[in-house]
């Protein structure tokens, strides 16, 4: 085994486990963590993969509880609210399947990589380090640690869908449904919970870091890498494994600096999703066809009929309003600005030190362009298609601003949301750069001081709200 550079610890104890690997596993040298564990097929994507019948069984178990209780909440609280998170968590956990616990050597490797990345990032950004604790996560760790943020993201969307679905019912239908309406709301929560559970179960096995999809999903100050997913990611690359780990650690650290330094950013991302959710409307023109010839007794005796009905109900597509399009455009632009800043900062910090930086940067771009798990989850749950073109334009804007001014001025733009470039600025960055360095914007006289004032103001407002 070759020496591991950058202060990485050796995978002590890993060699003793090799007899447990599958026959034919190569244990490729570019695997930075050792054996990657059992691979899992993608849901509904790879040949031979499909919807797990056991998952469907859990859906119908809760459906039976709803029928028996006529809409009363399921025990444990999982059936309350617009999304059945109890069901979503169980389905996601089942889809994750078997996993191995993290080794102490992997925890040390993550901590070493983050520590080194932070030193190099200090030279390329005025934003202070945002990570106070590091972790090597299993897929289940990722699921459990990020679920609270997913709840914040999904509740407004699911709540709007549930409300507009019931509001769209004709008065005659509401009168006929009567006490069945709460049960129908429960079915809506189950359908969204089922969809969310499948998406999170798939995502948990593929994300590389806690910020892999561009959102601050982890608890504040936590920098996390997922060794099993990174090992599988590394198998397709002819690059040194340790360089891959440091590169991903630098991306995680850069994201955390941004989310920590710009205290408004997290809430702005979440509120933009809420702006989108508030305008959701459903096209219920097919409601009559859905109920035509429906025998209620058959729903109780034939689970396949209920599955068919749920599938047809899910086909009512939300209608996108101009307000929603504007919210999605703002979210897309903000995510592109985040990703572009991270890409530029990491490339500047690592480019002269890690030979594979350029290749890994392009790999991450292609990963997004090909519609990986993150993009699929966004498209399914939020309806957002983050275009790679915007990422390149955002990175180019930050690069040009750095060249025209300096790092402190560039990072000072994050002091307040009103200072950020918009979609038009991404298309034509020259005007934005002129505004920043043209001398007419007093905010940039001391961008770090302005950033500190903004953070202090956000904290004051939070404290006032709590008191």
Do 320 and 446 sit in the same domain of this protein?
no
Residue 11 lies in a domain: no
Do 315 and 196 sit in the same domain of this protein?
yes
Do 258 and 162 sit in the same domain of this protein?
yes
Q: For 68-94, how does the pLDDT look when each residue is reduced to its tens digit (9 = 90+)?
A: 433 333 333 345 678 889 989 999 999
Do 376 and 400 sit in the same domain of this protein?
no
Residue 17 lies in a domain: no
Q: For 280-309, how does the pLDDT look when each residue is reduced to its tens digit (9 = 90+)?
A: 665 555 544 554 555 555 555 565 655 555
Residue 167 lies in a domain: yes
**Could you write out the DSSP letters of every residue in 69-126?**
HTTPPPTTTTTSSSS-HHHHHHHHHHHH----PPPHHHHHHHHHHHHHHHHHHTTT-S
Do 268 and 413 sit in the same domain of this protein?
no
Percentage of the chain modeled with pLDDT above 90: 41
Do 350 and 454 sit in the same domain of this protein?
no
Q: Which of 381, 411, 438 is the last residue of a domain?
A: 381
Q: For 344-383, how does the pLDDT look when each residue is reduced to its tens digit (9 = 90+)?
A: 999 999 999 999 999 999 999 888 777 666 667 667 666 6
**Could you write out the DSSP letters of every residue in 249-274?**
HHHHHHHHHHHHHSTTHHHHHHHHHH
Which residues neighbour 233 within 8 Å (Cβ) at sequence distance 6 or greater? Answer: 208, 244
Do 153 and 286 sit in the same domain of this protein?
yes
Do 417 and 375 sit in the same domain of this protein?
no
CB 196 within 8 A of CB 88: yes
* Residue 415: domain span: 396-466
Residue 48 lies in a domain: no
Residue 21 lies in a domain: no
For the cut 90, the answer to whether the pLDDT of residue 109 exceeds it is: yes
Residue 44 lies in a domain: no
Q: What pTM, to 2 d.p., does this model score?
A: 0.72
Residue 235 lies in a domain: yes
SS3 281: strand
Do 321 and 462 sit in the same domain of this protein?
no
Work out the pLDDT band at 310, boundaries 50, 70, 90: low
Residue 147 lies in a domain: yes
CA 150/CA 197 separation, integer angstroms: 11
Q: For 148-186, how does the pLDDT look when each residue is reduced to its tens digit (9 = 90+)?
A: 999 888 888 777 766 555 555 555 555 555 555 555 555
Higher-confidence position of 130 and 322:
130
For the cut 60, the answer to whether the pLDDT of residue 205 exceeds it is: yes
Among candidates 237, 319, 316, which has minimal Cα distance to 284?
A: 316
pLDDT of residue 429: 93
Do 80 and 107 sit in the same domain of this protein?
yes
Q: Which of 317, 352, 381 is the last residue of a domain?
A: 381
Q: For 408-457, how does the pLDDT look when each residue is reduced to its tens digit (9 = 90+)?
A: 999 999 999 999 999 999 999 999 999 998 754 444 455 566 666 667 76
Structural domains counted in the chain:
2
Do 452 and 354 sit in the same domain of this protein?
no
C-alpha to C-alpha distances, 267 to 272, 273, 277, nearest whole angstrom = 8, 10, 15
CB 298 within 8 A of CB 353: no
Q: Which of 335, 357, 381 is the last residue of a domain?
A: 381
Do 291 and 436 sit in the same domain of this protein?
no
């Amino acid at each position: 085994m070759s020496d591991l550079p950058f202060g990485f610890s050796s995978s002590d104890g890993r060699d003793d486990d090799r007899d447990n690997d599958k026959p034919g596993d190569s244990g490729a040298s570019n695997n930075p963590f050792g054996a990657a564990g059992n691979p899992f097929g993608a849901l509904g994507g790879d040949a031979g993969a499909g919807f797990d019948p056991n998952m469907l069984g859990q859906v119908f178990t809760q459906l039976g509880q709803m029928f028996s209780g006529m809409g009363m909440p399921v025990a444990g609280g999982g059936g309350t609210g617009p999304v059945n998170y109890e069901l979503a968590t169980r389905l996601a956990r089942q889809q994750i399947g078997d996993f191995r616990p993290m080794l102490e050597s992997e925890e040390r490797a993550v901590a070493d990589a983050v520590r080194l990345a932070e030193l190099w990032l200090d030279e390329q950004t005025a934003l202070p380090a945002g990570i106070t604790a590091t972790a090597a996560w299993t897929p289940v760790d990722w699921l459990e640690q990020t679920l609270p943020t997913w709840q914040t993201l999904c509740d407004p969307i699911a709540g709007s869908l549930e409300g507009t679905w019931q509001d769209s019912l004709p008065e005659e239908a509401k009168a006929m449904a009567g006490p069945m309406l709460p049960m129908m709301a429960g079915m809506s929560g189950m359908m969204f919970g089922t969809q969310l559970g499948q998406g999170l179960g798939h995502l948990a096995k593929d994300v590389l870091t806690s910020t892999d999809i561009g959102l601050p999903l982890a608890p504040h100050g936590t920098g996390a890498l997922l060794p099993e997913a990174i090992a599988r990611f590394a198998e397709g690359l002819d690059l040194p494994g340790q360089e891959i780990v440091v590169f991903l650690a630098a991306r995680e650290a850069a994201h955390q600096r941004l989310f920590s330094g710009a205290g408004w950013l997290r809430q702005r991302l979440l509120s933009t999703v809420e702006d989108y959710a508030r305008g959701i409307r459903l096209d219920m023109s097919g409601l009559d066809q859905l109920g035509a010839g429906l025998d209620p007794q058959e729903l109780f005796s034939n689970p396949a009929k209920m599955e068919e009905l749920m599938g047809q109900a899910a086909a009512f597509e939300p209608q996108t309003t101009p307000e929603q399009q504007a919210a999605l455009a703002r979210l897309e632009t903000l995510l592109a600005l985040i990703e572009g800043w991270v890409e530029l900062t990491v490339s500047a910090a690592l480019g002269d030190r890690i030979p594979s930086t350029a290749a890994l940067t392009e790999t991450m771009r292609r990963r997004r362009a090909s519609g990986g798990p993150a993009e699929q989850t966004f498209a399914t749950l939020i309806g957002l298609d983050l275009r790679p073109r915007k990422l390149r334009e955002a990175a180019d804007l930050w690069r040009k601003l750095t060249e025209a001014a300096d790092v402190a001025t560039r990072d000072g733009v994050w002091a307040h949301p009103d200072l950020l470039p918009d979609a038009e600025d991404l298309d034509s960055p020259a005007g934005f750069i002129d505004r920043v360095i043209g001398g007419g914007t007093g905010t940039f006289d001391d961008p770090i001081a302005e950033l500190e004032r903004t953070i202090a103001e956000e904290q004051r407002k939070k404290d006032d709200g709590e008191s």
